[in-house]
């Protein structure tokens, strides 16, 4: 694993410690590297009204947008799961908006298990901005 991937996993594991996950007990951290070279991070934020909770990937994407970047080059997600945690279906679609088929998605757990995917591995034949007609 190269240094830039390790840096993403480190950032994801660090922000995971800030997660607000009192209902599931499942803290998640995500870190992405954007086209500006910066790393943006996010953690899951649960809510007493359960469906109002948000995912770690969603938070990292929001941070990227607020920071002025628009393209995900690579993303890592980490949780205390038995196997490396992969983005949920809804987050795969959220990532789709700002990724390409070759965007690297790295999954990990706290024990150090790692899996590596391209975005197209996780969401083949996806629906995205290019499926919509041009707006005038």
User: Which residues contact ligand THU by CB under 6 A?
Assistant: 21, 24, 26, 28, 44, 46, 53, 55-57, 77, 85, 87-88, 91
Tell the smallest beta-carbon distance from residue 77 to ligand THU (Å): 6
Residue 46 or residue 73: which is nearer to ligand THU going by CB?
46
Residue 53: both structure tokens together: 């909770």
Q: What is the dihedral of CA 64, 69, 70, 72, to 10 degrees?
A: -60
From the list 35, 46, 57, 73, the catalytic residue is 57
Torsion sign (Cα): 50, 55, 59, 64: negative
Instruction: Say whether 97 is catalytic.
Output: no
Tell the smallest beta-carbon distance from residue 133 to ligand THU (Å): 31
- Give how far the C-alpha of residue 115 lies from the chain's centroid of Cα atoms, to the nearest Å: 14
**Active-site residue list:** 57
């Amino acid at each position: 694993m190269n240094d830039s991937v390790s840096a993403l996993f480190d950032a994801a594991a660090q922000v995971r410690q800030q997660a607000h996950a009192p209902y599931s007990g499942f803290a998640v951290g995500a870190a992405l590297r954007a086209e500006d070279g910066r790393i943006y991070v996010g953690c899951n934020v649960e809510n007493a009204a359960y469906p109002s909770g948000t995912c770690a990937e969603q938070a990292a994407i929001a941070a990227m947008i607020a920071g002025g970047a628009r393209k995900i080059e690579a993303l890592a997600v980490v949780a205390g799961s038995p196997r490396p945690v992969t983005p949920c279906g809804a987050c795969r679609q959220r990532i789709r908006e700002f990724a390409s088929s070759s965007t690297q998605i790295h999954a990990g757990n706290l024990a150090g298990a790692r899996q590596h995917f391209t975005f197209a591995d996780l969401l083949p034949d996806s629906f995205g901005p290019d499926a919509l007609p041009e707006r005038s």
